[in-house]
Amino acid sequence: MIARIWRGNTRREHAEEYGRFLERKGFSDYRATPGNRGALLLQRRGEESAEFVLISFWEDFDAVRRFAGQNPEKAVYYPEDEHYLLGKEPNVAHYEVAPASLPEMARWLGAQEVGRSA
């Protein structure tokens, strides 16, 4: 399993609205992509800005490419991001999820399907 990690920053006053946008649009696009195994959205608000970390989980790099295109290291952005983001990082990071952590993820999330093939 592959974890794809994207980061972005907004103004604090846009944090709630942008979080809803990511959940609505990003999560929808993930779910529509064969090989997606779920996602987590993390948020940290500071005095003036809010940081978002979006971690999506994929069966393999073929699944990542179905979402991101032939250059999976390149970040995927939507037109709406122009309104919210303070800047755009060009790349994302990918990590292999250690097999031993899959049962723990399932237990933490209460999801029995984490890590299983469809």
Q: Is a pLDDT exceeding 80 seen at residue 108?
A: no
List own/partner pairs for 87-96 with CB under 8 A and 24 or more apart: 87/9, 88/8, 89/6, 89/7, 89/8, 92/4, 92/5, 92/6, 92/68, 93/4, 93/5, 94/2, 94/3, 94/4, 94/5, 94/61, 94/64, 95/2, 95/3, 95/5, 96/1, 96/2, 96/3
- The per-residue pLDDT for range 4-48, each reduced to its tens digit, is 999 999 999 999 999 999 999 989 999 999 999 989 999 999 999
- The per-residue pLDDT for range 47-69, each reduced to its tens digit, is 999 999 999 999 999 999 999 99
Query: What's the pLDDT at 49?
Result: 96
The class level of CATH for 2-109 reads alpha beta
pTM of the entire predicted model: 0.84
Query: What's the pLDDT at 114?
Result: 46
Query: What's the pLDDT at 102?
Result: 78
